[in-house]
Amino acid sequence: MSATATSQRVFNFSAGPAVMPVSVLRELQEELIEFPGAGSSLMELSHRGQVFVDVLHDAQDTIRSLYGISDDYEVLFLQGGAALQFSMIPANLIRGNDKTAQYLVTGSWGKKAVGEARKEGKVEVLYDAKESGYNHVPSSGDYAASDDAAYLYYCSNETIQGVQFAEEPSCPAGVPLICDASSDILSRPLDIKKYGLLYACAQKNAGPAGVTVVIIRKDLLDHAPDNLAGYLTYKNHAENDSEWNTPPTFAIWALGKVAHWLADDIGGLEAMQKLNERKAKLLYDSIDANSGFYAGHARRDCRSRMNVTFNLPSDELLNKFVKEAATHDLASLKGHRSIGGIRASIYNAMPIEGAETLAKFMNDFAAKNG
Amino acid sequence: MSATATSQRVFNFSAGPAVMPVSVLRELQEELIEFPGAGSSLMELSHRGQVFVDVLHDAQDTIRSLYGISDDYEVLFLQGGAALQFSMIPANLIRGNDKTAQYLVTGSWGKKAVGEARKEGKVEVLYDAKESGYNHVPSSGDYAASDDAAYLYYCSNETIQGVQFAEEPSCPAGVPLICDASSDILSRPLDIKKYGLLYACAQKNAGPAGVTVVIIRKDLLDHAPDNLAGYLTYKNHAENDSEWNTPPTFAIWALGKVAHWLADDIGGLEAMQKLNERKAKLLYDSIDANSGFYAGHARRDCRSRMNVTFNLPSDELLNKFVKEAATHDLASLKGHRSIGGIRASIYNAMPIEGAETLAKFMNDFAAKNG
């Protein structure tokens, strides 16, 4: 077992909820019963009291500072995960009006988002990579976005298939670009000015399940139809600083600590990106060095830095791989039930030693079984 | 400081998020980094893995067993708090049909629920205690519920005003009774068979903020209109055992521990009710013994066992009360900004010593300042 994990901890390649920084878990543990100076657990404190409000603002400020987010944007902490965003986005932006929302579908999550959007208004799928088994993302020449669309929507990283946009898809000026960044938020620098709205559930790169980060340009707050459910109305959350109702206080506290770990311990998003690229390279190099044995799912130029997906020559070998990996403290490697194979999720908090251990195991396993 | 609190902890009378059992906080702390046998924190584990699924089922089973809930009901763990339930209930049960939902309004939360319901369909307010300043709940003769209503809705305990239904309001046979039990869930036995749907956010009596318990009779799952947002459709959550999307795993884990504390340490809901009545009696006795000094908000027969609300002769004395109470480790006593005064929330996890300490302080304060 590597010295970077604690005695009993394994390298956890779960696709989400997923590995968190050990130093964050240690801090949460230390402060769990008595938040410093508060005489109570953070979980027991009113969300409107100064102690929690400071925690909330600190988490917002740290995310703002990591991305360099301007005052043109709100940073909201909501509940309901990406699944509720699939509905909230079209409910706020196309319900009750004549505009069309345009979608790029590059995997399972984009497909689900389209299903929910169709319930709210006019939707057009500009590109769907289904026929390739969702192994790539489109180039700018592959689709034609309209100048007058309500928005252009995409998912920057598809966790199930392991395909990722290397940069933002092209989007007409004046059309809000909307991104589901649930599985690669905070994994690399982004120019937020390019987005109308970018959101992510926390449980992959940003913290525990139960909080969703929504970064929304302020002009988009004014499009919600009358009579939209209060919780679904972004403006309510923005006007009340994410306290329109009681927010998930523990999850926000943990999210703030993860953001601080990124800023202070890792050194920011550029440093994080370099680390993530090193981890991904270790695993993809092992796939490529054993290309007769391992078959990567994603096209090479669209490979995800977060979820490395590949298959083995047979189900028998696949099961043997998972079983033997577990004896090396390499856990949660089974691919999603919808596509099978192996999926190694190497989010921000996966230490480089985890990727090294897995890459070595992959090479050894291929040598013995190839 | 009482021996039942740890060295630095205060008696926390916050209305929510609120005090949790210290033994639950200790267990969470102990198991935070490595869930026993899992090699990871519970927060890092897939919601679909056996470890978390067992945690989820254990929490459901413990709540089922505490209330004696039959298989005619689902026990769901959702996100979005009571605020999202205000919309989900009418969206599932009156949107797109001709039925009328009937509401009893006995305080701020019932009023908010009506506001959201009106967005979804036909709503009738059968009783509104507004003119009394929400100081009581209606008797069965005070309103006439219809036989063909979609449902009859009430809030069993209004936290802001401190009024509580001693038992279920009368409801015509065949009409589903729906209850917002956010602030008194698990505080006393209930006959769940009387309800169509009973729900509660966790952060008062049941755990940390971020999870909402919904106990719903199965026949009510089939009323949702086509095209209702997926997250808002109860049936989706029921058919997927609260894993239609990623649930708030940490909050569910904590909720399960609170339910076990109730069942195993307290001895069940009858024992909890007795303790809660003892705590409430201590404070109301102190109000009544100093009735020229303290003015209780609720009518005597409608007094809440969860939130004790009262005022002092002047703002000056009110501020002095809060300030001096803090020096006795009595925290978060200020009333809600909408009605002022003092609010002492004495949820399940408030130890009897907290109520004793506060009652003694109240008597002493009245003697010195009355």
**What is the per-residue pLDDT for A8?**
75
Query: Mind listing the domains of chain A with CATH numbers?
Result: 26-265 (3.40.640.10), 268-369 (3.90.1150.10)
Length of chain A: 370
Please list every residue in chain A whose beta carbon sits closer than 8 Å to the beta carbon of residue B249: 17, 203, 208-210
Q: How far apart are CA A113 and CA A118, in angstroms?
A: 9
Helices (H), B134-248: 234-239
Helices (H) and strands (E) in chain B, counts: 9, 14
Residue A156 in tokens = 């920057």
Residue of chain B minimizing CA distance to A119? B227
Judged against a pLDDT cut of 60, whether residue A7 lies above it is answered with no
Query: DSSP secondary structure string, A22-65?
Result: HHHHHHHHHTSSS-TTTSS-GGGS-TTSHHHHHHHHHHHHHHHH
Shortest Cα distance from B200 to chain A (angstroms)?
A: 13
Task: List all residues 6 or more positions away from A265 whose beta carbon is below 8 Å from its beta carbon.
Answer: A21, A23
Q: How far apart are CA A296 and CA A299, in angstroms?
A: 8
| Phi, psi angle pair for A154, to nearest 5° | -150, 165
Q: Name which of A184, A145, A129, A143 is nearest A299 in CA terms.
A: A129
Residue of chain A minimizing CA distance to B347? A44
Residue of chain B minimizing CA distance to A45? B17
Residue B16 in tokens = 């929510």
Residue of chain B minimizing CA distance to A109? B245
**Positions of B marked active-site:** 109, 180, 204
DSSP 8-state secondary structure symbol assigned to residue A330: E
Is A204 a residue of the active site? yes
H-run or E-run covering B128? strand B122-128
Judged against a pLDDT cut of 50, whether residue A4 lies above it is answered with no
B109 is in an annotated binding site: yes
Residue A105 contacts residue A129 (beta carbons within 8 Å): yes
Contact A43 B250 (CB under 8 A): no
Q: What is the mean pLDDT of residues A9-16?
A: 94
Task: List all residues 6 or more positions away from A162 whose beta carbon is below 8 Å from its beta carbon.
Answer: A297, A298, A303, A304, A306, A307, A308, A309, A343
> Residue B70 corresponds to which amino acid?
S
Contact A46 B16 (CB under 8 A): yes
Contact B33 A6 (CB under 8 A): yes
Q: Name which of B182, B178, B223, B180 is nearest B197 in CA terms.
A: B178
For residue A197, list its beta bridge partners: A178, A216
**What is the per-residue pLDDT for A3?**
35
Shortest Cα distance from B135 to chain A (angstroms)?
A: 24
B50 is in an annotated binding site: no
Residue A219 contacts residue A124 (beta carbons within 8 Å): no
| Least CB–CB distance from B20: residue in A44, A115, A232 | A44
User: What does the pLDDT look like over A71-95, one tens digit per residue?
Assistant: 999 999 999 999 999 999 999 999 9
Q: Is A23 left (phi over 0), alpha (psi -120 to 50) or beta?
A: alpha
Q: How far apart are CA B290 and CA A242, in angstroms?
A: 41
**What is the per-residue pLDDT for B7?**
54
Q: How far apart are CA B291 and CA A229, in angstroms?
A: 43
The alpha carbons of chain B give a radius of gyration, in whole angstroms, of 21
Query: DSSP secondary structure string, A60-114?
Result: HHHHHHHHT--TTEEEEEESSHHHHHHHHHHHHHTTTSS-EEEEEE-SHHHHHHH
Judged against a pLDDT cut of 60, whether residue A225 lies above it is answered with yes
Selecting among A111, A184, A204, A261, the annotated active-site residue is A204
Shortest Cα distance from B131 to chain A (angstroms)?
A: 26
Residue A356 contacts residue A315 (beta carbons within 8 Å): no
Contact B41 A25 (CB under 8 A): yes
Contact A39 B245 (CB under 8 A): no
pLDDT < 70 stretches in chain B = 1-7
Shortest Cα distance from A118 to chain B (angstroms)?
A: 8
Shortest Cα distance from B7 to chain A (angstroms)?
A: 9
Q: With bands split at pLDDT 50, 70 and 90, how would you rate the model's confidence at A154?
A: very high
**What is the per-residue pLDDT for B64?**
98
Contact A119 B227 (CB under 8 A): yes
Pairing of strands A122-128, A100-105: parallel
Please list every residue in chain B whose beta carbon sits closer than 8 Å to the beta carbon of residue A84: 79-80, 229, 231, 245
Please list every residue in chain B whose beta carbon sits closer than 8 Å to the beta carbon of residue A16: 46, 246
Q: Where are the beta strands (DSSP E) in B188-341?
A: 197-201, 212-217, 295-296, 307-311, 330-331
Shortest Cα distance from B274 to chain A (angstroms)?
A: 23
B203 is in an annotated binding site: yes
Q: How far apart are CA B12 and CA A140, in angstroms?
A: 57
Query: DSSP secondary structure string, A163-186?
Result: EE-SSPPP--TTSPEEEE-TTTTT
The alpha carbons of chain A give a radius of gyration, in whole angstroms, of 21
Among B46, B47, B252, B255, pick the best mutation site for testing chain A contact (most A Cβ within 10 A): B46
| Least CB–CB distance from B246: residue in A120, A201, A250 | A201
Please list every residue in chain B whose beta carbon sits closer than 8 Å to the beta carbon of residue A79: 79-81, 84, 210, 248
**What is the per-residue pLDDT for B165?**
98
Contact B44 A8 (CB under 8 A): no
Task: List all residues 6 or more positions away from B319 whose beta carbon is below 8 Å from its beta carbon.
Answer: none
Selecting among A71, A128, A148, A180, the annotated active-site residue is A180
3-state SS assignment for residue A125: strand
Q: How far apart are CA A12 and CA B28, in angstroms?
A: 20
User: What does the pLDDT look like over B352-364, one tens digit per residue?
Assistant: 999 999 999 999 9
Residue B261 in tokens = 């504390």
User: What does the pLDDT look like over B202-227, one tens digit per residue?
Assistant: 999 999 999 999 999 999 999 999 99
**What is the per-residue pLDDT for A77?**
98
Reported ipTM: the value is 0.97
B60 is in an annotated binding site: no
Residue B340 contacts residue B311 (beta carbons within 8 Å): yes
| Phi, psi angle pair for B287, to nearest 5° | -60, -50
Residue with tokens 């979608």: A103
Q: For the sheet with B342-345, list strands across it.
A: B295-296, B307-311, B342-345
Contact A83 B245 (CB under 8 A): yes
| Least CB–CB distance from B40: residue in A9, A16, A209 | A9
Task: Indicate the average pLDDT of chain A.
Answer: 96
Three-state secondary structure string covering B75-113: EEEECCHHHHHHHHHHHHHCCCCCCEEEEEECCHHHHHH
Residue of chain B minimizing CA distance to A244? B83
Report CA dihedral (B107, B229, B69, B250) to the nearest 10 degrees. -90
